[in-house]
Amino acid sequence: MAAGNFRTLGVSVAMAGLLATAGCATGPDRRPGDPLEPMNRAIFSFNDGLDKYIARPVAQAYVNVTPSPFRTAVSNFFSNLGDIGNFANNLLQLKITDATQDLVRFAFNSTFGIGGLIDIASQAGLPKHHQDFGLTLGHYGVPSGPYLVLPVFGPSSFRDATNWLVAFRLDPITYMDPAVRNILFGVNFVSARADLIGATDILSQAALDKYAFVRDAYTQRRQYLLTGGTGTSLPDYGDDTGDGAAAPEGASAPGGTGGGSQEQGLPTYDDPGAAPSGPAPATPPAPGASPGAAPSPSSSEGAGLPKYEDPAPAGK
């Protein structure tokens, strides 16, 4: 209980410090959704250092010494406990069907999946939901507020920062003996970090600005979880399929004749299996063949093979 109070106090102090420094961190050139960017970047660098020198090496060692089935079972165990929080938040959002599925998932996996080590529910077709108290507040119209990077916990927002306090109380591990609880919290952290090794490797190699990449990915992911994708849209790269769209340079325009293969002096490739779009042109007889004679079975046309013509004159 004392450890739980200390954890809650630590998050509260961090939040108070963030709010107190908000005035000196804002400025006219800040991104609208990230007015605390200078402070957030400093905390992000601190977290990145912790991950580089402590979290990732420990997670990599965990991956190296444990077999994949064992790691999957550990991940399933903590994921199963997370369904309790999913159930509570779906119930608060009055999503009765999702809440029922979360409850059935937890019962199935806890009973038939050996305490959640095996994900029987997913194999039975019960979907896995991802809910938390921040999404519950967002469901009822509470704005996310500015983007926020919390020490150790990582990307968040003023609204989503409440997740940690509520999730801590909804986690059954919280109420175990402190010695067992702290060990399980540590194993959960290492397991979750091990699952993200591949993603962070790609991030380090591909992102020019890791902070901006993580910020944008987090905000888009939260928006998707809140709206189910209905309020999001892809960037507009232009639709070139319309009637008025201009054809790319060197390509034939719709309905035009200046960009075709034959007009550009390229070979014509006709597919004999395609339906003719107009009257078939008369084919001149081969040298030595009588007019009107059927094509030889050994010829390309007689064998039903494509006819390949070179538009270049023979003497050219």
Name the residue ranges covered by the structural domains of the chain: 39-227
75-84, 230-239, 282-291 — most confident range:
75-84
Does 155 have pLDDT greater than 90? yes
Does 234 have pLDDT greater than 60? no
Does 192 have pLDDT greater than 60? yes
Provide the CB-side half-sphere exposure for 274 (13 A, CA): 9
Determine which of 35-39, 77-81, 148-152, 274-278 has the lowest per-residue pLDDT on average.
274-278
Say whether pTM exceeds 0.95: no
Could you report the per-residue pLDDT of 47-81, keeping only the tens digit for each? 999 999 999 999 999 999 999 999 999 999 999 99
